Amino acid sequence: MRAELPTAELESRLSFGSAILRGADCEVYRSDWSSVAGEIPVLSILPASVEDVVAVVRWAVRHAIPLVPSGGRTGLSGGATPRSCDVVVSLERMRRILAVDAEQRTMTVEAGVATQVVQDAAAAHGLLYPVDFASRGSSQIGGNIATNAGGIRVLKYGLTRDWVAGLKMVTGSGELLELNRGLIKNASGYDLRHLVVGSEGTLGIVVEATLKLAAAPPPQQVLLLALPAMSMVMQAYARLRRTLSLSAFEFFTQAALEHVVAAGARAPFASPSPCYVLAEFDHDEAAMSAAFEELAASGVVTDAVLAKNNAEASGLWRLREGITESLSHRKPYKNDVSVRPGQIPSFMLRMDKLFGAEYPGFEVIWFGHVGDGNLHISIIPPAGYPREAFLAQCDRVTHMLGGVLQDFGGSISAEHGIGLLKRPYLRYTRPSAEVELMRQMKHVFDPKGIMNPGKLFPP
Ligand code: MLT
Ligand code: ZN
């Protein structure tokens, strides 16, 4: 147990509007949306300015205090989960939009701004911030950058990384870096901005970002297709993308749909199908009808619903976006894996065999961003199944899954990050030489090892 932290010294350096929380006020920082049961941190600091963050990190360096950066706490791998000896640094009070340059299509924001606030501010200028996911209301830009968040429109627009024109971060030694400064061209050596994107708070704390914005898209159509087999998903994808400009191609099974319907959504079809695809694309009635007819004639699609207005489009999206929330009370074990999109059919077949053999009696719920080669598979044990035995079984099978991913050259974490949960499996995706280089890079940014200790790297 550490002695009392020297907070008086820090308090005098923090600006008006910042806060230091203790005891029960820290409870909220204990966990994220993953199933990791964290501990209540010894302190939670809510800086109100970049200078505050610099002061906090320098104070932590002086006293060797471990810091856990915290955004909207919507992560799914325990990346922001503290131990009781950690100090959480939450960016929630740094949520100002600093500038919008509609002509240059950029927006500069503090790290604690919520994704949806950025999206709305871009829309107010007739522009689009296209990185999007179900947690848009709570997730924050700093956290999105720390995990290189993906989501539902990666197919057309790419990941968070593709929309960061520049960022400010405070390194683990308390230095403020301004990386790339919004430049489009900058061939002046290592692009440290891209090292920081996806570094899960292990190098420092992102405090500001200049985001790129896109032109507002043309009107979109949302189509839900019913398919007779998972093996046909990529046939549907190939046909749709041949003539339609897709912005999303999302997949889920009947098992997933049943959970969303049980949570209050309306079932889209009179009778169930093994799986479904939600496609969103630039409005093109003729191309859409031709594609549907061809898919129906070849038996790849057995039924379809096309949203006739925005409310119906939201209703269809709810069937896909509501999956995570509808499962959360069952505390599923989550896989978030990726292969190259062309490998999806053979990879699904291998996984289906593996999970069928190794998870008898468990519910295996498939969904995800198949157009990106990204599958989410949630495992749920029967009611009353002992938690420890369940997790041990999932750990054993995830090592086997890691072996399969190694065969495919895939990733054990497509978009949720490694955090705490996926550390034992990092080696299936990253060879030891690569992990060693990452450790060395961390040491350069964070020589005292105070930034998000224990995350990302295998113990
Ligand atoms: C999603 O695509 O819905 C998210 O990544 C969340 C999840 O995997 O549960
Ligand atoms: Zn996802």
Average pLDDT of the chain is 97
Average pLDDT (323-350) is 96
280-301 pLDDT tens trace: 999 999 999 999 999 999 999 9
Residues lining ligand 1, CB < 6 A?
A: 76, 134, 323-324, 334, 336, 376
3-state secondary structure of 151: strand
The yes-or-no verdict on residue 3 having pLDDT over 80 is: no
Helix%, strand%, coil% for the chain, nearest 5: 40, 25, 40
DSSP notation for 32-57: -SSS------SEEEE--SHHHHHHHH
Asked if residue 42 lies in contact with residue 3, where contact means CB atoms within 8 angstroms, the answer is: no
**pLDDT for 414 beyond 90:** yes
Over range 26-36, report the average pLDDT: 93
**415 C-alpha vs ligand 1 centroid, how far in Å?**
9
Instruction: Give the whole-angstrom CA distance, residue 33 versus residue 327.
Output: 12
Distance 198 CA to ligand 1 centre (A): 17
State yes or no: pLDDT of 116 exceeds 60: yes
DSSP letter at 184 equals: S
Q: What is the pLDDT of residue 129?
A: 98
The pLDDT value given to residue 35: 83
Q: What is the pLDDT of residues 429-446, one digit of tens each?
A: 999 999 999 999 999 999
Q: How far is CA 23 from the centre of its chain?
A: 29
Ligand 1 centroid – CA 413 distance (Å)? 12
Q: Which pLDDT band holds residue 4 (cuts at 50, 70, 90)?
A: confident
Are the beta carbons of 211 and 163 closer than 8 angstroms? yes
| Beta strands 67-70 and 87-90, pairing class | parallel
Q: Is the pLDDT of residue 1 over 70?
A: no
pLDDT in tens, 58-90: 999 999 999 999 999 999 999 999 999 999 999
pLDDT per position as a tens digit, 48-58: 999 999 999 99
Return the biggest CA–CA distance within the chain: 73
pLDDT tens figures, 121-172: 999 999 999 999 999 999 999 999 999 999 999 999 999 999 999 999 999 9
pTM: 0.96
Share of the chain above pLDDT 70, in %: 99
What residue owns the CA closest to ligand 1's atom 7? 324
Q: DSSP letters of 96-129? A: -EEEEETTTTEEEEETT-BHHHHHHHHHHTTEE-
Instruction: Give yes or no for a contact between 179 and 193, defined as CB atoms under 8 angstroms apart.
Output: yes
Beta bridge partner(s), residue 43: 87
Per-residue pLDDT at 218 exceeds 90:
yes
Asked if residue 37 has pLDDT above 90, the reply is: no
Q: What percent of the chain has pLDDT over 90?
A: 98
Per-residue pLDDT, averaged over 425-429, amounts to 98
| pLDDT surpassing 80 at residue 2 | no
Question: Which ligand number lies closest to the CA of residue 328?
Answer: 1
- Residue 366 pairs in a beta bridge with 377
| Nearest residue by C-alpha to atom 6 in ligand 1 | 324
Contact 278, 301 (CB under 8 A): no
Pairing mode of beta strands 87-90, 43-46:
parallel
Residue 324 CA, closest ligand 1 atom number: 9
> How many secondary structure helices (H) and strands (E) does the chain include?
14, 18
